[in-house]
Amino acid sequence: MPRFRDTSINAQPSNAPKERFLDPKNRVRTDADGEKQLLEKAEKDNVITAFDRAVAQHPQCQFGYQGICCRFCIQGPCRIKAMEGPGSRGICGATAYNIVARFVGVAVAIGASSRSEHGKHIAHTLLEVSEGNYEDYQITDPDKLKRVAKRLGVETEGKDDLKIAYELANVAMEDFGNVGTKESNWLNSMLPEPRKQKFKETTIMPKGIGNTITDQLAAIHMGMDADPVNNIFSALRTSLSDLNGMTIASEFSDILFGTPTPSVTDANFGVIDEKQVNIALHGHNPLLSEMVVKAAREMEDEAKSAGAEGINLFGICCTGNEVLMRQQIPLATNFGTQELVITTGAVDAMAVDVQCINPGVSEAAQCYSTKLITTDKLAKIPGSYHVDFKQDKAMECAKEIIKVAIDAYKDRKGNVEIPEYKNKLVAGFSVESIEQILSSVNSDSPWKVIVDAIEAGEISGIGFLIGCNNAKGWQDQNHIEIAKEMAKNNVLMVSTGCAAGSYGKYGFLNSDAIEKYAGDGLKKFLGRLNDSADLNEDLPLIFHMGSCVDNSRIVDLIIRVANEMDVDIPKVPVVGSAPEAMSPKAVAIGSYFLSLGVPVHVGAMPPLEGSTMVYSIATQIAHDVFGGYFILETDADMGAKKIMQALDYRTWKLDVHKKTAEKYGTSLAREY
């Protein structure tokens, strides 16, 4: 069977570039009433947001859009202007495939650097805690500490938690710091054997996170690696170093702050409360936001003496997801509408740490009494207040942030308008908590519950929905349309990042959504889990697994299912989608899922179309080598169709292999 059963579908996108930026003159690029209300208010208040800037940028340069503009040296910019002759090359002789492949390399390197900086920050904190420093932090989940330590080969018997943490943190430090002398400890501890073998054979097993990223950047310097296949392989190696760093980030965050369990809160602008001191927590790293949550609980009285009813914290983007997962802090919104939160006029402070913070929030904040507070030396924004966050005075910094917010509350200018919309959500689905739910059905082999449901055709597979918002499309629309189709087609869905933010806002993360959107099989499956698990709250349609670094949890989940089936990952009926991908981190994440052997749909076109060769490697050849590949399709309906066909291909193939094994009395082939 071909990869898409419907032979009218292929690896090419269904629409031409000019058809992809829908309704380009319309700045109201959303269907949500709350967002429309705030866009109207922004216009009245003369606030320029990403929605206005997206329209102003249109039409975007087509050389850049296709990835055939190079500025890697200052002989450039060079553009590929012709099919042949001197105009078909940059000044140095770089071809379209060189320029496009180098973009992939640089995007993955930026993504992996961001994640590894985040992971390193947390690993360093655990190391200091283990040495008795950073007294505001503790080991909150010693069981997870021991589980991770054992997996990494750290002896736990007869040692106290701090000693184990010290040794484990040093194993992590070795992954960050080794200079190409040793393969990744983390990846070797977590990947199934056949994948490790594949990564060794194809030479993409990273050795040292920092080392892999610097090698990657060296390779794409002008006059270096001009072999596009070599370029792509080194980008994949770098993407695996991204997985290395982000798994450390997730696991050490759980050890320090607790492993999430399902709990209830709300999402959407309605979580902002006019009567309280409102503080938005935005960015990615939980080291600061966890402290702000603690400090806020201690400083309620100060807010009350300023005339407020209390302190109201809410999240944006992945810091939002971190405190949502562990501290039940409600989520106001995701990436695309971060500036609109400020236009409510009710936000007293927005405290940001790292990544995905639009510099535009500063301009918006200056139109109201909102204090924008930056906290990281790597992410300062002109026009903001800076608290120099250090872990050895973490609570002091957190309290300073809250003081600034309380003062801003006293100066609030009025002009407040908060859309009342909010939806209940159930979040906190760590792999551990999912396993516990599955154990209520089958305590001996919890993951068999999913495998059995796939084999019985009750669910059609596992789908993960991840990634950002992208202003080229309509806010959240691709997320919603694709999830609806997957639900209707009985896909068991998990989500992270800003995708999960969309689902929270739109009411997909509660049990009512099952009734509304799920097909019969999925309803039956989730109903069975609900009946047997002892939960305070019914399960939602989509399991929110956390922030973007928690894509490592999705990897863990897929590996557990693969192990249960006793096959390599490419054989598992699983498909991913980043319906509104935006960030270079998304490129890195998509690339490691591809290497792991998973088809990944991307609903915003990355700049690859300028090279047929690179485009084909990403969308087709990768499948032969790794079992994973990209489905690049911006149209939501067609995207959903391709996603379902990719899943169909996997279940079909698995079935063929199973029948063959039964017929010949052999075991199931692990290969794909």
Site for ligand BF8 in 451-470 (CB under 6 A): 467-468
Site for ligand BF8 in 490-509 (CB under 6 A): 497-498
| Nearer of residues 24 and 76 to ligand SF4, judged by Cβ | 76
Site track for ligand SF4 across 89-108, x = CB under 6 A: -xxx-x--------------
Contact 409, 348 (CB under 8 A): yes
Look at residue 387 and give its three-state secondary structure: coil
Q: How far is the CB of 92 from ligand SF4 (least distance, A)?
A: 3
Q: Residue 604 interacts with ligand BF8 (CB under 6 A)?
A: no
Contact partners, residue 420, CB within 8 Å, separation at least 6: 34, 270
Which residues sit opposite 283 in a β-bridge? 317
Residue 456: is it exposed, middle or buried by C-beta count within 10 angstroms (0-12/13-18/19+)?
exposed
Size of the site for ligand SF4 (CB under 6 A): 12
Identify what 497 binds: ligand BF8, ligand SF4, none; CB under 5 to 8 Å per kind: ligand BF8
Q: How far is the CB of 591 from ligand BF8 (least distance, A)?
A: 14
Identify what 26 binds: ligand BF8, ligand SF4, none; CB under 5 to 8 Å per kind: none
Look at residue 199 and give its three-state secondary structure: helix
Identify what 416 binds: ligand SF4, ligand BF8, none; CB under 5 to 8 Å per kind: none
Q: Residue 280 interacts with ligand BF8 (CB under 6 A)?
A: no
Q: How far is the CB of 334 from ligand BF8 (least distance, A)?
A: 6
Task: Please give the Cα distance from 435 to 456 (Å, whole number).
Answer: 20
Q: Give which of 441, 464, 416 is closest to 41, Cα–Cα.
A: 416
Task: Please give the Cα distance from 506 to 146 (Å, whole number).
Answer: 38
Residue 93: is it exposed, middle or buried by C-beta count within 10 angstroms (0-12/13-18/19+)?
exposed
Site for ligand BF8 in 522-551 (CB under 6 A): 547-548
Q: Is 84 left (phi over 0), alpha (psi -120 to 50) or beta?
A: beta
Q: Residue 482 interacts with ligand BF8 (CB under 6 A)?
A: no
Look at residue 416 and give its three-state secondary structure: coil
Task: Please give the Cα distance from 178 to 439 (Å, whole number).
Answer: 39
Q: In the set 73, 139, 229, 379, which binds ligand SF4 (CB under 6 A)?
A: 73
| Nearer of residues 26 and 75 to ligand SF4, judged by Cβ | 75
Site track for ligand SF4 across 203-242, x = CB under 6 A: -------------------x--------------------
Identify what 92 binds: ligand BF8, ligand SF4, none; CB under 5 to 8 Å per kind: ligand SF4
Q: How far is the CB of 552 from ligand BF8 (least distance, A)?
A: 12
Q: How far is the CB of 216 from ligand SF4 (least distance, A)?
A: 16
Task: Please give the Cα distance from 181 to 126 (Å, whole number).
Answer: 24
Q: How far is the CB of 98 from ligand SF4 (least distance, A)?
A: 8
**Residue span binding ligand SF4 (CB under 6 A) among the ranges 64-72, 196-204, 510-518, 600-608:** 64-72
Q: In the set 42, 582, 604, 631, which binds ligand BF8 (CB under 6 A)?
A: 582
**Residue span binding ligand SF4 (CB under 6 A) among the ranges 73-81, 185-193, 376-384, 507-515:** 73-81
User: Which run of H or of E encompasses 371?
Assistant: strand 371-374
Identify what 467 binds: ligand BF8, ligand SF4, none; CB under 5 to 8 Å per kind: ligand BF8
**Residue span binding ligand BF8 (CB under 6 A) among the ranges 195-203, 420-428, 527-535, 580-588:** 580-588
Q: Give which of 204, 206, 217 is closest to 247, Cα–Cα.
A: 206
Look at residue 559 and give its three-state secondary structure: helix
Phi, psi (degrees; rounded to nearest 5) at 245: -65, -40
Q: Residue 472 interacts with ligand BF8 (CB under 6 A)?
A: no
Q: Residue 75 interacts with ligand SF4 (CB under 6 A)?
A: yes
Identify what 75 binds: ligand SF4, ligand BF8, none; CB under 5 to 8 Å per kind: ligand SF4
Q: In the set 585, 601, 642, 650, which binds ligand BF8 (CB under 6 A)?
A: 585
Q: Residue 71 interacts with ligand SF4 (CB under 6 A)?
A: yes
**Residue span binding ligand BF8 (CB under 6 A) among the ranges 379-387, 535-543, 582-590, 598-606:** 582-590
Q: How far is the CB of 304 from ligand BF8 (least distance, A)?
A: 33
**Residue span binding ligand BF8 (CB under 6 A) among the ranges 160-168, 398-406, 443-451, 583-591:** 583-591
Q: Encoding tokens for residue 336?
A: 């695309």
Regarding beta strands 78-79 and 461-465, do their DSSP bridges make them parallel or antiparallel, or are they unpaired? unpaired
Which residues sit opposite 279 in a β-bridge? 313, 349
Residue 189: is it exposed, middle or buried by C-beta count within 10 angstroms (0-12/13-18/19+)?
middle
Look at residue 352 and give its three-state secondary structure: strand
Contact 121, 285 (CB under 8 A): yes
Q: Give which of 455, 481, 385, 381 is closest to 650, Cα–Cα.
A: 455
- The DSSP secondary structure of 316-342, one letter per residue, reads EHHHHHHHHHHH---EEE-GGGHHHHH
Q: What stretches of 513-557 adopt beta strand conformation (E)?
A: 542-546
| Nearer of residues 24 and 64 to ligand SF4, judged by Cβ | 64
Regarding beta strands 599-602 and 629-632, do their DSSP bridges make them parallel or antiparallel, or are they unpaired? parallel
Q: Residue 70 interacts with ligand SF4 (CB under 6 A)?
A: yes
User: Which run of H or of E encompasses 424?
Assistant: strand 423-427
Size of the site for ligand BF8 (CB under 6 A): 15
Q: How far is the CB of 120 from ligand BF8 (least distance, A)?
A: 16
Contacts to ligand SF4 by CB under 6 A? 70-73, 75-76, 78, 90-92, 94, 222
Contacts to ligand BF8 by CB under 6 A? 284, 317-318, 335, 356, 467-468, 497-498, 547-548, 582-583, 585-586
